[in-house]
Structure 1
Amino acid sequence: MAAADRALVAYADKLTRTPAAVGAGDIAGLRAAGFDDDAIHDACAIAAYYAFVNRIADGLGVELEPGAIRAEGKKDP
């Protein structure tokens, strides 16, 4: 994986797991990796959207279909 891609994945992971810990240094790191503000905005919006959808699904008790679990390479529950 390219260094820029690793930086973007690390940012998305941090935003997902510990959003309060994301700060100006993270944004500066993405800029240093070659991302412009539009790309950073898009990455933030996509990560936030998936976090939102997952929390809605968890909050409503939505169960994954068996095929969705298999697609991730995991065994059915």
Structure 2
Amino acid sequence: MAQLAQGAAGRELSARAFAQATVAWPPEEVLERFARLASALHTRALMAQRQNRTLRALLDDSLRTLGAAEALPRA
């Protein structure tokens, strides 16, 4: 993980040094705000996915209808 984070030219981070590093988690209110924002974005992404499926189905149906109409003899 350290190598990926530092890239090929980065210095090696030993397991001991890594274990001694402190990680500060954000305050609870920051985590809650992030969860609210992420939830809203997730809801919108799901809605967009449903809309895309609907639009794809309409397009496919329209193309099939056009293809069937072109196959009919012309008067």
TM-score, scaled relative to structure 2: 0.36
Larger Rg: 2
Q: Which structure's relative contact order is higher, taking Cα pairs within 8 Å and 6+ residues apart?
A: 1
TM-score, scaled relative to structure 1: 0.35
